[in-house]
Chains A and B, each alone.
Chain A
Amino acid sequence: MRKSSASDYDLEQFCDEMFMADGSPHPWALGLLETLDNLGSQRLAKRQEAAERALFDMGITFNVYSDEAATEKIFPIDLIPRLVRGQEWDHIERGLFQRVRALNAFINDVYSEQRIVSEGIIPVETIKSAEGYLEPCIGLTPPQGIWCHITGSDIVRDEHGALMVLEDNLRCPSGVSYTLANRNQMKRTFPNLFRSSRVRPISHYPSMLLQMLNQVAPAGNTRPNAAVLTPGKYNSAYFEHSYLARKMGCKLVEGGDLVVEDDRVWMRTTMGLQPVDVIYRRIDDKFLDPEVFRSDSLLGVKGLMRAYRAGNVSLVNAPGTGVADDKLIYTYVPDMIRLYLDEEPILPNVETYRCEDKAQRQHVLANLDKLVVKAVNEAGGYGMLVGPHATKAEREDFAERIAQTPRNYIAQPTLQLSRAPVLVDDHLEGRHVDLRPYVLLGSDIVVVPGGLTRVALKKGSLVVNSSQGGGSKDTWVVDGAQEMDGAQEIDGAQEMVDVPSC
């Protein structure tokens, strides 16, 4: 029998999701830790192994392009759930809803009157130079004025315990299927714990997604046909596309399955052509329609934009939404919230320097060894300089790039992301985490509690992306009351602030 999980856990200097600064667990984590201690390290390791094997057997994998021998790998799961206290989650949820409404209003504004430009908040060049900005979308209004139907914003906690938004993913945010699969696996791994702790459920996500797709169908269509459009089996997220299609009972289509005739979209079936009204597309804007965008695209559907413009098909997310993926545009989100909603941001941004601005650029160049520099259009942890971990040559390379195209870079302080315990052999060790919830905007705005907790499994690493050695954890939003005795002294001054003190 090993010592209690908590006794040999080293917080180092970081804020932790499970433990307080003095090393004692948060009250809502007591039940979980007790269960882990009762299980013992050997049985825990066995369950970890069984969970990984199950994920592989079920084909819950992502594709790795570079690795020819084993193109399918599982997204590693760590069995220790990341706990989020219900009260704190409610705060996150309010912040996300506010943010997504503002982002949607912004995208709508970009392609119509551009009030944000005329009010002098964002320069018009900054918008026009965003990679996701699509001129052909000017003047279009998607059904109900909704552009970003699905948004995955990444939320982190800094060393002071404050929650903030690191970036917004609006083009094709992925990962939700791992969240759902992880939960299923965890229910199998810890059935008793699930029964005794109050974890908010998430398994209704596919129903909510389908409901949203139906809500945003072309006007007047009471029984719309929805389909998921995938680039195909070689795409790294193919598992997710097929998983969501299966769970929603939708067809999973590739570009070649669709054809546009008379400005309507049809799919080819063994019984002839059948209409398609709503497309949840997991193909990037630029590949959607060779007639309008990249003419060499084999993934898209010729004439799709014609049908979209004619109002005969809804595209989720709407083309042009990617303008808000740009990390320079991200820096303006708090201003958007003030402009469009006349509210103060509930969830702040991470402090960000715009290299486009001369004074800020000079600050960035002078402090490259302390900052994280990001290319505004890259994702997946690519195009990034983590200053304190970089070599001199790497820093010089980025300085050069920033000087050449300042519009393409932003910089942020190197955040000491909070950590959560992961299982390493027979004990727990802290690893950095973030959180990506998935917000659905249809007639209503909804989100399933929690989301994908990504964890940098490599010791000391700050990069949580699956392509770079990241893994995932199930996220439990818990409404426990039974172990709240110590809450007062633990949570300090009982403020309105929902973040636990670290």
Chain B
Amino acid sequence: MLSRVASSIYWMSRYLERVQSIARLIDVQDQLGMDQPDTPGLGKWEALMRTTRSYEAFEKAYPAATPEDAFRFLTFDPDQPNSMFSCMTAARENARSIREILTSELWQQVNELYHTIRLASSELNREDQLQDRFLDKVKTSGLSFSGIVEGTMASGEARSWFRLGQLIERADQTPRILDVKYFVLLPSPEDVGTPMDQIQWAGLLRSASALQVYRGEFGAITPKQVAELLLFSHVFPRSARYCIREADQELRSVLGTQTGYFCNPAEQLLGQVNSQLQYATIEEVFNYGLHEYIDKLQTQIGLIGQRIDHSYFSN
């Protein structure tokens, strides 16, 4: 497959996943905030900005820094490369350049989501969006991509790159949701186990589409088990462990490399990170520090992305 085409499929997929992920982050923010009285100023949105590493850009673009500004910054601001609108535009532009590779169903769905977001950005304010279940629409529409790809696209390299983009992005994003909670509500000892604490964790799980999986696996909610599910579940399809394991297999399938061997630095690092995740325990993570662990994992995932680019896309 042409490097440019592979790269476009991979990035289209990453951007599509990122659009969903932004919807999830805003959703968790709203879920966490709803049962708590508003604090003056930016309040809890500040934490969200910090976890997405965009606080400085935000302050610069919106000196008044109201929650409404934060919402716009994350969703519709066309000047912010990480806004939902910008990511969706990037996904569509990538898709446009490889129309002959995509099935018409996939292209149509990309187009449709793009128009949904573009229309919403010109018409509604934050309150209306929530009423309009805008975030739900984005999440559901995003999920349908997997179904369309699975149901219409021939298995082979194109599908592998689509899956890889999706898995790498998920592995990068799921821990972030956990990190928001860590930032927003470092549980003060007296809050642990209170109804408020329970509500917040449940809200967090819901926005990761993980609440039902969690209930099935663990039952009652404890922070440690929430972290365990989101990082290390073998079965939850958005956990870091699950995504990296699948990504490792997809990347191997491109060149046909057997397990235990590697042909290039990208396969090597992805294999290493996979092993670390397979054999880590949540206790170790808490001893190391949850935030520090997530930070390190994200740096590694960033490096995997760079090496994929180097080994496959810019040869």
B34 sits at the interface (CB 8 A): no
Please, which residues of chain A bring their CB within 8 A of the CB of B108?
57
> Which residue of chain A has its CB nearest to the CB of B7?
A270
B306 sits at the interface (CB 8 A): no
Cβ A232 vs Cβ B104 within 8 A? no
> Which residue of chain A has its CB nearest to the CB of B93?
A233
> Which residue of chain A has its CB nearest to the CB of B104?
A58
Cβ A268 vs Cβ B3 within 8 A? yes
A455 sits at the interface (CB 8 A): no
Q: Could you count the A-B residue pairs with CB atoms below 8 Å apart for me: how many are there?
A: 47
Cβ B100 vs Cβ A257 within 8 A? no
> In chain B between 241 and 283, which residues have their CB closer than 8 angstroms to a CB of chain A?
254-255
B107 sits at the interface (CB 8 A): yes
Please, which residues of chain B bring their CB within 8 A of the CB of A269?
1-3, 6
Cβ A268 vs Cβ B100 within 8 A? no
> In chain A between 32 and 71, which residues have their CB closer than 8 angstroms to a CB of chain B?
57-59
Which of A58, A59, A251 is in CB contact (< 8 Å) with B2? A251
B99 sits at the interface (CB 8 A): yes
> Which residue of chain B has its CB nearest to the CB of A72?
B96
Instruction: Report the minimum CB–CB distance from A271 to chain B (whole Å).
Output: 7
Question: Given A257-B3, A268-B2: A243 and B100 within 8 A (CB)?
Answer: yes
Instruction: Report the minimum CB–CB distance from B296 to chain A (whole Å).
Output: 29
Please, which residues of chain A bring their CB within 8 A of the CB of B3?
257, 268-270
A15 sits at the interface (CB 8 A): no
Question: Given A257-B4, A270-B157: A242 and B312 within 8 A (CB)?
Answer: no
A131 to B4, CA, bound (A): 33
Cβ B99 vs Cβ A242 within 8 A? yes
A441 to B93, CA, bound (A): 36
> In chain A between 212 and 266, which residues have their CB closer than 8 angstroms to a CB of chain B?
232-233, 238-239, 242-243, 245-246, 251-254, 256-257
Instruction: Report the minimum CB–CB distance from B140 to chain A (whole Å).
Output: 21
B144 sits at the interface (CB 8 A): no
Cβ A271 vs Cβ B255 within 8 A? yes
Please, which residues of chain B bring their CB within 8 A of the CB of A460?
none
Which of A232, A246, A270 is in CB contact (< 8 Å) with B312? A270
> How would residues 287 to 315 of chain B score, 1 for a CB under 8 Å from any chain A CB and 0 otherwise?
00000000000000000000000001101
> In chain B between 14 and 60, which residues have their CB closer than 8 angstroms to a CB of chain A?
none
Cβ A254 vs Cβ B104 within 8 A? no
> Which residue of chain A has its CB nearest to the CB of B3?
A268
Please, which residues of chain A bring their CB within 8 A of the CB of B1?
269-271
Please, which residues of chain A bring their CB within 8 A of the CB of B116?
none
A492 sits at the interface (CB 8 A): no
Which of A233, A243, A267, A272 is in CB contact (< 8 Å) with B97? A233
Instruction: Report the minimum CB–CB distance from A235 to chain B (whole Å).
Output: 11
Instruction: Report the minimum CB–CB distance from B6 to chain A (whole Å).
Output: 5
Please, which residues of chain A bring their CB within 8 A of the CB of B312?
270
Please, which residues of chain B bring their CB within 8 A of the CB of A271?
1, 255
Question: Number of contact residues on B: which range applies?
Answer: 10 to 19
A246 to B1, CA, bound (A): 14
Cβ B4 vs Cβ A272 within 8 A? no
Instruction: Report the minimum CB–CB distance from A426 to chain B (whole Å).
Output: 32
Instruction: Report the minimum CB–CB distance from A248 to chain B (whole Å).
Output: 10
Please, which residues of chain A bring their CB within 8 A of the CB of B313?
270
Cβ A232 vs Cβ B97 within 8 A? yes
Please, which residues of chain A bring their CB within 8 A of the CB of B96?
233
A194 to B266, CA, bound (A): 55
> In chain B between 62 and 95, which residues have their CB closer than 8 angstroms to a CB of chain A?
93
> Which residue of chain A has its CB nearest to the CB of B96?
A233
Please, which residues of chain B bring their CB within 8 A of the CB of A254?
4
Cβ A59 vs Cβ B100 within 8 A? no
A252 to B101, CA, bound (A): 10
Please, which residues of chain A bring their CB within 8 A of the CB of B4?
254, 256-257, 268
> Which residue of chain A has its CB nearest to the CB of B4?
A257
> Which residue of chain A has its CB nearest to the CB of B111?
A59
Cβ B315 vs Cβ A59 within 8 A? no
A243 to B2, CA, bound (A): 17
Instruction: Report the minimum CB–CB distance from B267 to chain A (whole Å).
Output: 12
Please, which residues of chain A bring their CB within 8 A of the CB of B6?
269-270
> Which residue of chain B has its CB nearest to the CB of A243?
B100
Cβ A252 vs Cβ B100 within 8 A? yes
Please, which residues of chain B bring their CB within 8 A of the CB of A243?
100
Question: Given A59-B107, A254-B4: A268 and B315 within 8 A (CB)?
Answer: yes
Please, which residues of chain A bring their CB within 8 A of the CB of B2?
251, 253, 257, 267-270
> In chain A between 275 and 304, which residues have their CB closer than 8 angstroms to a CB of chain B?
none
New A-B contacts (12) at CB < 8 Å, excluding given A239-B99, A257-B2, A257-B4: A59-B99, A233-B97, A242-B100, A243-B100, A257-B3, A267-B2, A270-B1, A270-B2, A270-B254, A270-B313, A272-B315, A273-B315
6 pairs of residues in contact across A and B, judged by CB atoms under 8 Å: A243-B100, A252-B100, A268-B315, A270-B6, A270-B254, A270-B312
